[in-house]
Amino acid sequence: MLTVRLKYLLMREGTRRRSALVLLVVVCSVVVARPSLCAQGTKASEWPAYGNDLGGMRYSPLAQINRKNVAKLKVAWIFHTGDISEGQNGRKRSGFEATPILVDGTLYLTTPFNRVIALDPETGKQRWAYDPKIDLDGDYGDGLVNRGVATWLDLTRGKGQSCRRRIFESTQDARLVAIDAMTGAPCVDFGQAGQVSLRDVKQYDPGWYHITSPPVIMDDLVIVGSAIDDNHRVDMARGVVRAYDTRTGALRWSWDPLPPNPATALAQGKSAGWRSGAGNAWSIMAVDVQRDLLFVPTGSASPDYYGGLRPGDDKWANSIVALRGKTGEFVWGFQLVHHDLWDFDSAAPPLLATLHFAGKEIPVVIQGNKSGMLYVLNRDTGEPVWPVEERAMPRSDVPGESSSTTQPIPTKPPPMARQTMSAADAWGPTSDDREACRNLIKQLRNEGIFTPPSLQGTLMVPGNLGGMTWSGYAFDPQRKLLVTNTNNLVAQAKIIPRAKYEAPGSHSADGDYGDQTGTPYGLYRRFLQSPSDLPCAPPPWGTLTAVDMTEGVIRWQVPLGSMQNFGGPHPQQIPPGSISLGGPIITAGGVVFIAGTTDSSIRGFDVDTGKELWQAPLPASGNATPMTYLVEQNGKQYLVIAAGGHPKITEESLGDTLVAFTLQD
């Protein structure tokens, strides 16, 4: 689960249409995860799923906006949702993190309040809105956020029939709703009057169990994961993945990543004391319809930073898992982190692609996580394409804890983020800042990545903001380039004995505290910042990286954004590179588009070189992934981004703005 506290972390019509048809043929033959979309007549001009194709490439075949003309992009229209919460009177702050989809000539998006809105893609004018009326005062760990919807076309219904196309949303208060795409009215034949309750899981807690990511569609199934708050207690809700019938809402199957008393605990004779929860899939899942495979990225088991009551590897938390789509049957799993003690979720969505190795075309699933490492696995077997080595790691010195002796380290590609840091590396805009950071680091246990949390406090490199988080990555199927944004921050994690943790005045230091109820310890953590409020880690604190996925090497890496005015203007010149939350897309025009930085901008980069080609200001930080589409009526390509700030970055202003760009006439 993402936890950030940044205050403490701180051509003309005919030609264009013919081109789109040619590109559609190319995409349907190249993008192996897209067959179901192509079969339903998806156009290359659309963006029908969160990652465009169901395999999550975030690649568009549109090329009207390209490297030569991208600098001429201007605002075409702006839409205000009206849904903002500043976090007053106990209500959580909001964040506008949605990536809209475009199908059948309509743009669909969600707001932080879980309202679903349909817009005219050419003008931004609202066509309808649906309000599920969630409890806005719930204790939602990530704040009031939602990242989008999914859609399904019922080919058994004729054109004009209600709910022929359905829009699905999973809500913060744990409901799955189905809406008629034409009218915004509930599909009354789905569940109870258009909705299904997702609250029937063991250890369900209102607010602590919620959903922020869109569901995925696989044939006639709508599949959902869950977001579960970190560090409250040992026995949090079960992180069950569930599939429902798209027509009726009937439960078809479910899969639990952490079955009670797993075999590892039984083998160690500790089953009676084995307690945990979560291991949930809170990010986006990927689908391969041809193989009938669903790819599920899972997060950490509860609680994050103490695992004494969940001995063993905790499979299948912190993993990428392949399930049989029709039945939910486990096919294979690959664990990226054994016995996680660092909140190193598989937060980035899996990405499906085809790569050329040893004279063969190999279908792969690419999965990164907060550690900054990228794993490339055979899609059919789960076997690594490049060797993954189990390397010895530092052991925990916390009584009752038994950390994993090894962790799986890929030999290729190299890490996308810093994984070691010494006191000598400490950075600050002034000598006093640097000295303060050095003193902080010297006090901490520090043996590189996977140094376990400790009673004295441990330096986490990277911190729990990544590396790669839910922002994910994009893939160019022609160049075989993967582009990802990563964060380079360090944090500390300290385990506090229960009596000391619960003593009066024990929570006086700036940072985050986690009760971890049911364990002998509480938790304290924070990102390391100097008195200037800027990170102690050396810049850049955020980068954009292109990886050659055939060779497994980095082709280019550039700083992304700026923190010059973070927390207020700084008199010194601050090096480039901002933390970012919100991922990239790539277009056939050779441009990578990304927002997400704290300087409230959206940018376009040359996919071959990493050169910044275009930048435009946003009314608030665009902590979302953009999308692009072509309006056939006017022949124009549009680029759209949600700009609303982040609920946990209190230095940033919030917003409710969806901004669309297009080329000047």
* Chain segment 193-224, per-residue pLDDT in tens: 999 999 999 889 999 999 999 999 999 999 99
- Burial class (CB within 10 angstroms; exposed 0-12, middle 13-18, buried 19+) of 431: exposed
Q: CB–CB of 262/277 below 8 Å?
A: no
Q: Which of helix, strand or coil describes residue 196?
A: strand
Number of H helices, E strands in the chain: 5, 40
3-state DSSP percent of the chain in helix, strand and coil, to 5 = 10, 35, 60
* Sign (positive or negative) of CA dihedral 13, 16, 22, 26: negative
Query: How far apart are the C-alpha atoms of 454 and 39, rounded to whole Å?
Result: 54
CA nearest to 566, candidates 654, 467, 652:
652
Q: Are strands 59-60 and 585-587 parallel, antiparallel or unpaired?
A: parallel
Task: Kindly report the pTM of this predicted structure.
Answer: 0.93
pLDDT at residue 269, rounded to an integer? 60
Query: How far apart are the C-alpha atoms of 209 and 141, rounded to whole Å?
Result: 9
pLDDT at residue 265, rounded to an integer? 60
pLDDT at residue 651, rounded to an integer? 77
**Which of the residues are catalytic?**
343
Q: How far is CA 101 from the centre of its chain?
A: 17
Q: What are the strands, taking DSSP E only, across 250-359?
A: 251-255, 286-288, 293-297, 319-324, 330-335, 351-357
Contacts of 18 (CB under 8 A, 6+ apart): none
pLDDT at residue 37, rounded to an integer? 40
Q: pLDDT by residue (tens digit) across 454-472? A: 999 999 999 999 899 999 9
pLDDT at residue 141, rounded to an integer? 87
Neighbouring C-alpha atoms within 13 Å toward the C-beta of 142 = 26
Q: CB–CB of 293/333 below 8 Å?
A: no
* Low-confidence spans in the chain with pLDDT less than 70: 1-42, 261-273
CA nearest to 491, candidates 417, 570, 597:
417
pLDDT at residue 665, rounded to an integer? 77
Query: How far apart are the C-alpha atoms of 158 and 155, rounded to whole Å?
Result: 7
Query: How far apart are the C-alpha atoms of 398 and 104, rounded to whole Å?
Result: 57
pLDDT at residue 653, rounded to an integer? 87
CA nearest to 151, candidates 175, 120, 125, 118:
118
Query: How far apart are the C-alpha atoms of 346 and 318, rounded to whole Å?
Result: 6
